[in-house]
Structure 1
Amino acid sequence: MTELLLEGRTAVVTGAAGGIGLAVAQLLHEHGAAVVLADLNEAGAQAAATSIGDRAIGIGCDVTDESSVQGLVDETVRRTGRLDVFVNNAGVTRDASLRKMTVADFDLVMAVHLRGTWLGLRAASAVMRDAGSGSIINMSSLSGKSGNPGQTNYSAAKAGIVGMTKAGAKELAHKNVRVNAIQPGLIRTAMTEAMPPEVFAEREAAIPMKRAGEAAEVAGAALFLASDLSSYMTGAVLEVGGGRLM
């Protein structure tokens, strides 16, 4: 039997009603963690938790709202008694060229990715500091490394998450709380499969491994960072992109 890397621990994953977030929650659960799936779509989070089974809880959460994020952390500790892993995964896109992007669409993407990640980092680390251990995983993107046309908001936000990860890692290392980031590339999700087929094919062809990734492959990196296998890693940024942007 495969060793359970997270047995007895509790993990929170935001944006977990589907896509990469759900895949992360499923894999952490498979490795023994109690998982809290948080999403703005509360019904979706609860349905996803039901699909996972025992030790899975679905909670509604608006990651841009301070009290909602604090409530998520408080409810997690109340119901499970601890908080060991927090995955800041929630995200949105509002793509448009510079000339066509509205201020509202810029602000929304910044709020969800940057403020949302910061609120999760702050609330989760407060619990973990007191416990003397913990792993926080922030979801960036290769868009934050290279920039994508039509994504000045998203690319900037995802780049900002890298800086936030490194600053948080430096603040929390002495408390044995680790903060790392993942930068997925082109991953098959509902979001990317909504792209025009010719655009998807063009981006896939530019990847050295000649294929898009699967959500489960991003989840594998999250499991590694959540577990003791990465116990001497903090402030790291793992690229999961099939060799894109090497």
Structure 2
Amino acid sequence: MARELEGKVAVVTGAASGIGLASTDALLAAGARVVLVDRDDVALTTVCGERGEAAIPLVIDLLDSKACSTLVQQALARTGHIDIFHANAGLYVGGDLIDADTAAIDRMLNLNVNVVMKNIHDVLPHMIERRTGDIIVTSSLAAHFPTPWEPVYASSKWAINCFVQTVRRQVFKHGIRVGSVSPGPVISALLADWPKEKLLEAKQSGSLIEASEVADVVLYMLTRQRGTTIRDVVLMPTNFDL
């Protein structure tokens, strides 16, 4: 693989597993140094130990607002600059709204929406000063279709889609690209919260994709010429039927 991101520094949230880890691996293979942000200290230590010095662990619970506010500062202290910020960390709440735990709704909306906005708010001054940068947000196919079995989760991703599209228009004049990747069902820990019948149906029909396929799209977005922004990519299993 061509090392198209040689010398770049990336920050990936939710990096110890799933799409975050797959994105990290793609970035490392392309030559970037990556700050892996996750709250799971043990998993993060293991993952970074297996990937060498270019993988830099940063243990933060993003739902702790005080700790969350230190993310960019801590990443810069370790690397000196940030070229790429992949806001990937997220939670899932599925099923009928009436059955949802309201505390779980609060946690999910906080991580899926508020934390994404705060992290990007904090990294923008650095990127604006340098007049370059890439921001990618992990959204979802649910951001493009009113998915009946996950109204809470889908709503969080609709909000993020609006955020990506509006912030992009504010910051492109500073040389900053903003985009989102919107996968259909991905084989990851988030699916553990899917309704059992829906998960079984998806597995039996071949309606799931690998996290590495999402990472391939992330890398494609990052390696376009600076004059081109891939604002949103929707990818789904070929057999997926809404």
3-state SS in 1 of match to 2:69: helix
Judge conservation of contact 1:14–1:37 (CA < 8 Å) in 2.
yes
1:219 matched residue in structure 2 = 215
Out of 146-155 and 134-143, give the one that drifted further: 146-155
2:70 matched residue in structure 1 = 71
Normalised TM-score (structure 2): 0.90
1:241 matched residue in structure 2 = 236
Judge conservation of contact 2:95–2:194 (CA < 8 Å) in 1.
no
1:191 matched residue in structure 2 = 190
Judge conservation of contact 1:69–1:120 (CA < 8 Å) in 2.
yes
User: What does 1:1-246 correspond to in 2, within 5 Å?
Assistant: 2-192=1-191, 195=194, 198-203=197-202, 210-227=206-223, 229=224, 231-234=226-229, 236-243=231-238, 244=240
Per-residue deviation, 1:195: 4.7
State the Cα RMSD in Å: 2.2
Per-residue deviation, 1:142: 0.6
Q: How many residues align?
A: 241
Judge conservation of contact 2:71–2:119 (CA < 8 Å) in 1.
no
Out of 103-112 and 172-181, give the one that drifted further: 103-112
3-state SS in 2 of match to 1:239: strand
C-alpha change, 1:54 and 1:218, in structure 2 (3 Å) is same
Q: Percent identical across equivalent pairs?
A: 27
Judge conservation of contact 1:85–1:135 (CA < 8 Å) in 2.
yes
Per-residue deviation, 1:66: 4.3
Q: Structure 1, residues 167-201: CA drift from partner, whole Å, max 9, x if none?
A: 11011100001110000101112332665665235
Per-residue deviation, 1:157: 0.3
Judge conservation of contact 1:138–1:180 (CA < 8 Å) in 2.
yes
Per-residue deviation, 1:49: 1.5
3-state SS in 2 of match to 1:7: coil
Judge conservation of contact 1:85–1:136 (CA < 8 Å) in 2.
yes
Unaligned residue ranges in structure 2 (runs of 5+): none
